[in-house]
Amino acid sequence: MTKRVIAAVLIAAASIVSSVNAADSAIAVDDPYVRLVPPGIKTTGGFMLIRNTGKADRQLIMAQSPAAGTVELHTHINENGVMKMRAVASIAVKAGGQAELKPGGYHVMLIDLKDPLKEGDSVPISLIFDDGSTVNLQAPVRKPHTGMPESRPAHPGMAGH
Ligand SMILES: [Cu+2]
């Protein structure tokens, strides 16, 4: 009798856990940003770190943004020494893993920007995954890196120590 009760409780607990997992795609997005481009440039890239804390592999299959006429998933490929962008159908985010969208690699391509970007603005981006889940985020507009490492010491007066 006691064993049967315990079994029933365990089954109930298991179904609660699985329904929570189904509702939560277990996807987290860190540090999203959109690259600032000069006025007149109509395309830019969105970058971020997508983490999958779940137990199932996920595929990012689409991105949407009201700020752009067209949004595509892109990667960079090196073709005979020339870096080129290619549209991809999906970006894999393995269970317990992550996908880094960064300059020179995967990115969300925003094409036909409706308004010029301003630093400090936020661009709404929706990420749609293969399980039907959507992650909505606000990606701040940021200046691109200059390629120069930020090597200034935090406390110049302490540089001699
Ligand atoms: Cu691109």
Summarised one tens digit per residue, pLDDT across range 15-57 is 444 444 444 569 999 999 999 999 899 999 999 999 999 999 9
Distance 158 CA to ligand 1 centre (A): 43
Residue 1 in any domain: the answer is: no
Quote the CA–CA distance of 86 and 4 in Å, as a whole number: 57
Phi, psi of 56 (to 5 degrees): -120, 140
User: CATH number, domain at 105?
Assistant: 2.60.40.1890
Residue 158 in any domain: the answer is: no
Per-residue pLDDT tens listing for the chain (161 residues): 555 555 555 555 444 444 444 445 699 999 999 999 998 999 999 999 999 999 999 999 999 999 999 999 999 999 999 999 999 999 999 999 999 999 999 999 999 999 999 999 999 999 999 999 999 999 999 998 655 554 444 444 444 44
Per the structure, the count of domains in the chain is 1
Please give the model's pTM, rounded to 2 decimal places.
0.75
Residue 152 in any domain: the answer is: no
Residue 40 in any domain: the answer is: yes
Q: Where are the beta strands (DSSP E) in 20-103?
A: 27-35, 43-52, 58-64, 68-79, 82-87, 91-93, 98-101
Distance 136 CA to ligand 1 centre (A): 20
Residue 44 in any domain: the answer is: yes
Distance 137 CA to ligand 1 centre (A): 19
CB atoms within 10 A of CB 94: 12
Distance 53 CA to ligand 1 centre (A): 27
Residue 105 in any domain: the answer is: yes
Distance 80 CA to ligand 1 centre (A): 18
| HSE value, Cβ hemisphere, 13 Å, CA-based, for 14 | 6
Contacts of 17 (CB under 8 A, 6+ apart): none
Pull the structure tokens for residue 147.
């390629």
Residue 90 in any domain: the answer is: yes
Owning domain of residue 47: 25-142
Residue 122 in any domain: the answer is: yes
